[in-house]
Amino acid sequence: MRDEKRRKWHVDDKARILERRLQRNHFKRVAAPEVFSIANNAEGSLSFFHTLQFYVSKGYPVMLDLQGVQSITVDTLLYLLAVWDKLDAQNIKYHISGNLPSHSSAASRFKKSGFLRFVDSRSELSGGDKAEVVQIYAGEKVEPTIAGDICKFIQHVHGKNKGDTSKIYEMLVEIMTNTKHHAYGKRDKKPKWYVYAEYIPSKRDILISILDTGKGIPATLKRRIGEKLFGISDAKIIASALRGDFRTSTGLTFRGRGLPMIKKSYDDGVISDLVIVSRKGYLRFDMDEKLELTNELVGTLYIWRVKP
């Protein structure tokens, strides 16, 4: 009981500090990198989120400056929503404002993504052309209908039939299922997965991003496999898990259910350009690029393309 009171006093103190700083217009500015993309600039983008969370933890109101962004992928917007939802779930008082990119194509993607539906915005909302995007969805339960909507989008854009997208449907549903199973605790009741799909005309393919804000692949494997993984980088754990290198004490291959499904879909050519980011591990599977990141991504981000 005493610990609960201490936590409450601590939260109340920060709320009072935040209010005083708002009255004095004492904002901290956090500038996004020119390439605001976890897929293409993981270090720079995650550093942005680390700085944002640091200032919020210290009770500062924050202004997110996106004006200098030249290119953006919606994975960063999914993660920004996840950061806000986690703050809400933890009852942390915060004040975050921001602006849009000055660059026209970056601003257009920002608006078309549906991100502004989730925030109090003065900017003009865009419904997004249904032939170009499936706007951001967020949820904490398995939503087969949303997975089906993304598959229908692929079918429409690429002229495919339902059977052609069955594997993608299974992957999306499995990631949603994993999110539900890997929640942190009973108090954390906000949405746990975020998904978005977009047609890229220049490449004639569809880019799908889905964020699972559970424990993350490295943490889950370390808990289930044990001490054999200590000292191995998160990036190598992700790559090895995808290949099925790890075995449990009974000698069975351990990758969970989602990773083997993703790997097989990649091998079969259903998806391409696979990127997985989890904790401090970054894997670009096509190029066998493995990076150990400075700042961690809470959960797991999956990005892949669907070609015609």
Of the two residues 76 and 26, the one the predictor is more confident about is 76
* Dist CA 48 CA 70 (whole Å): 15
Helix (H, G, I), strand (E, B) or coil at 35: strand
The pLDDT of residue 138 is above 80: yes
Please give the pLDDT value at position 60: 92
Average pLDDT over residues 190-218: 90
Report the phi/psi class of residue 13: left, alpha or beta, with left for phi > 0 and alpha for psi in -120 to 50.
alpha
pLDDT digit string, tens, across residues 212-234: 998 888 887 776 666 556 778 89
Please give the pLDDT value at position 139: 93
The pLDDT of residue 265 is above 90: yes
Going across the sheet that includes 96-98, the strands are: 28-31, 62-65, 96-98
Query: Quick one: pLDDT band at residue 155, thresholds 50, 70, 90?
Result: very high
Please give the pLDDT value at position 111: 92
* Dist CA 296 CA 33 (whole Å): 17
Average pLDDT over residues 249-259: 54
End-to-end CA distance of the chain: 59
* Dist CA 175 CA 193 (whole Å): 8
Structural domains of the chain ordered from first start: 1-119 (3.30.750), 127-308 (3.30.565.10)
Helix (H, G, I), strand (E, B) or coil at 11: helix
Percentage of residues in the chain having pLDDT higher than 90:
62
* Dist CA 299 CA 272 (whole Å): 22
The pLDDT of residue 8 is above 50: no
Which is nearest to 261 in space by CA: 196, 205, 160, 178?
A: 178
Alpha helices in 71-205 (DSSP H): 75-89, 104-112, 144-158, 166-181
- Do 198 and 207 meet the contact criterion of CB atoms below 8 Å apart? yes
* Dist CA 151 CA 169 (whole Å): 6
Of the two residues 210 and 186, the one the predictor is more confident about is 210
CA angle, corner 210, sides to 186 and 200, nearest 5?
A: 160
| Residue located via tokens 């799909």 | 197
* Dist CA 155 CA 273 (whole Å): 19
Give the number of C-alpha atoms closer than 13 A to the C-alpha of residue 171, restricted to the C-beta side. 26
Range with lowest mean pLDDT among 8-12, 48-52, 203-207, 221-225: 8-12
Average pLDDT over residues 220-249: 73
* Dist CA 209 CA 42 (whole Å): 14
29: burial class by Cβ within 10 Å (0-12, 13-18, 19+)? Answer: exposed
| H or E segment to which residue 38 belongs | none
* Dist CA 68 CA 36 (whole Å): 10
Task: List, in sequence order, every residue forming a beta bridge with 277; answer none if it has no partner.
Answer: 282, 301
Please give the pLDDT value at position 190: 52
Distance of CA 301 to the CA centre of its chain: 5
pTM here?
0.88
* Dist CA 153 CA 260 (whole Å): 24
